[in-house]
Amino acid sequence: MGMRYLTAGESHGPQLTTILEGLPAGMPLEASDINNELARRQKGYGRGRRMQIEKDTAEIVSGVRHGQTLGSPIALVVKNNDWKHWTKIMGIEALVEGQEDEIKRKVTRARPGHADLNGAIKYGHHDMRNVLERSSARETTVRVAAGAVAKKLLSLLGVEIVGHVVEIGGVKASVDPNLAIETLKEVTELSPVRVADSKVEQAMMSAIDEAKQNGDSIGGVVEVIATGMPAGIGSYVHYDRKLDGKLAAAIMSINAFKGVEIGIGFEAASLPGSQVHDEIGWDKEVGFYRKTNRLGGFEGGMTTGMPLVVRGVMKPIPTLYKPLMSVDIETKEAFAASVERSDSCAVPAAAVVAEHVVAWELANALIEQFNSDRFDTLVDEINRHREYAREF
């Protein structure tokens, strides 16, 4: 059995919660491992006022003792600082007669591009606040928290991972594919738009400013790179055990993501096979390797030992100051769907979210494939596998 996690909580509820299961016992873990990653999610040029309200920190409430995991479920809690302003609107208790006026901010106007209308139809909600509170990207806070635990596991097993921006609003970055992952981490962490190409950084920021001035929003493309994954992780024997398929599903599960590619991805459609597939080489020191990495570290649903390269396309945020037309679900009257606040661009933050959902899937693949009840046993098994693959 591998790892799994569940999240709970609403955007303006008292807290967000996640429960993680399947981590080995004896793995070093502290709250700072998680909170450093949560802080990264809140950075990024183009973010809205909510990032000033919430300074996210996670509290570990179970599964860790004296800095080490116990092997039992790990529960993480992130408090919502804005809850104090929503206690009546989002209260748990049933309303009694005469309190109906406390249902403030009822939402009957469906916003284009959101889950509002479809969710209302599915669950029978005539107040779409019951939909948007959960469908909000606020939930990615605890997905990053869960991914931070997985990322810690990966780092202890020699796997490094980074998410960065390669395009915003049509402005594309040029990144050296041979850039060391540690350098990529350092450079993008200092960039307001999390981009490695300093020549396009200002152009990306200007595109975000222009969109904001026009009451619009812009999207982009993020890339996640992971190094150090052993060869042969994943499987070809069933569709649902292919690791690249799991990564694609993880990326597509992030709010507002509409496309994913691995390696050269969609470019492969316009190239001959000789310019797509990676030739195999062998060296006494490293064993088998690929001479190129066009397939992004995957063949047959399994890792090749080369760096893993995954990209995701984020659409522009649909909450716009420039109103789109929609319909009120109660009156059936048309209206212009204006908003109170919004990010004009969340692509830099989305790169962090993508990094963490990929980290979870990679860690889970290792947990599934190797003996993982104890952390020290897991380390030994993966080291033996690396040696086995090198000498194969």
- State the amino acid at position 387 in one-letter form: E
Any binding-site annotation on 316? yes
pLDDT of the residue at 32: 97
pLDDT of the residue at 318: 82
User: Token pair of 364, please?
Assistant: 């889970």
pLDDT of the residue at 300: 98
Burial of 90 (0-12, 13-18, 19+ CB in 10 A): middle
Any binding-site annotation on 319? yes
Cβ of 26: how many Cβ atoms within 10 Å? 16
Which residues of the chain are modeled with pLDDT < 70? 47-54, 98-104, 338-342
- Structural domains of the chain, ranges and CATH numbers in brackets: 4-391 (3.60.150.10)
Any binding-site annotation on 41? yes
Any binding-site annotation on 135? yes
Any binding-site annotation on 47? yes
| Torsions phi, psi for 358 (to 5 deg) | -70, -40
Model pLDDT for residues 274-324, shown as the tens digit of each residue: 999 999 999 999 999 999 999 999 999 999 999 999 999 999 988 777 778
Any binding-site annotation on 134? yes
Model pLDDT for residues 361-381, shown as the tens digit of each residue: 999 999 999 999 999 999 999
Q: For the CA atoms of 89, 253, 177, 386, what is the dihedral angle to 10 degrees?
A: 120
Any binding-site annotation on 136? yes
**What pTM was computed for the model?**
0.95
Any binding-site annotation on 307? no
Burial of 294 (0-12, 13-18, 19+ CB in 10 A): middle
Any binding-site annotation on 138? no
> Whats the size of the chain, residue-wise?
392
Any binding-site annotation on 315? yes
